[in-house]
Amino acid sequence: MSTPLRIGRLAELSGLTPDTIRFYERLGLITPPRRSTAGYRLYDPDALDRLRAIQRGKELGFTLNELAELFKLQDHPDACAEIGRLATAKIAEAEQRIHRLERARIELSRLVGRCTGPRDVCPLYDVLHDTAGTPCVELVYDPHGNYIDAVRSTLADACRHAGHRGGWEEWSLDDPAAPRYARSLGAPAFLIDGHDLLPAIPLPTGRCCRLYPHPTGDLQPLPDLQTLIDALEPYLRR
């Protein structure tokens, strides 16, 4: 028979505090301990495995409520499908966090590049006080494609008509520093604040692999100008 663990020993082995263990106990994440004749909490050794599972789950981004749901599903006949659903949702959340972090890296790199010497107002303060936020327009292109100049011209016309004067960031598919969300789209792609602006038809081969539907019903490697303007304007008017 396994030796039960008092809360101090359980805390030591798990790396958690006794208060945290009591908190998890109140949430129903671990089985309530029995009491010794002296009134000490005596936890089953399996509690250590559960605490480690909780810590691992938190590292993967699950909340305590989500972990409680996962633990309840352990003996359910459809557990695998439900756990798969929860894990898929967690992947989407992780991708969003990666996306936000990449946008932060890009913005901070841009600010550092503007810190060229003494000035009255640091560019970082300019950004912090720009509560409306200037949208960041991005272009993803294939440097080996045949449409680079036409793609840039189309985007320039769209920005001008939509009232965007801030220019745009360009990402080459060959650039290892390009954010993952940009490189995963193919080219040409048009983004604003990291969001893909226009639906495109991906082709199974080739890197210049996006085709855009036109009002005529044709698919072309460049989007219709008015369609691109209409996609930009809602972001620029916020």
- Each of the 238 residues of the chain gets a pLDDT tens digit; together they read 478 899 999 999 999 999 999 999 999 999 889 888 888 889 999 999 999 999 999 998 889 999 998 888 887 777 888 888 888 888 888 887 887 787 777 777 767 766 666 656 666 666 666 545 567 888 998 888 778 889 899 999 999 898 887 788 888 888 887 877 777 778 888 988 777 888 777 665 555 578 888 888 888 888 889 999 998 888 876 5
The pLDDT, as a whole number, for residue 114 is 66
The pLDDT, as a whole number, for residue 1 is 47
CATH code reported for the domain at 133-236: 3.40.30
Q: Would the pTM of this model clear 0.75, i.e. be above it?
A: no
Q: How far, in Å, CA of 127 to CA of 138, rounded?
A: 18
Phi-psi region of 61 (alpha: psi -120 to 50; beta: other; left: phi over 0): left
Domain ranges (residues) in the chain: 5-72, 80-127, 133-236
CATH fold label, 5-72: Multidrug-efflux Transporter Regulator; Chain: A; Domain 2 (1.10.1660)
The pLDDT, as a whole number, for residue 207 is 54
Distant-in-sequence, close-in-space partners of 76: CB < 8 Å, separation ≥ 6: 82
The pLDDT, as a whole number, for residue 131 is 47
The pLDDT, as a whole number, for residue 205 is 55
The pLDDT, as a whole number, for residue 57 is 93
Q: How far, in Å, CA of 43 to CA of 3, rounded?
A: 9
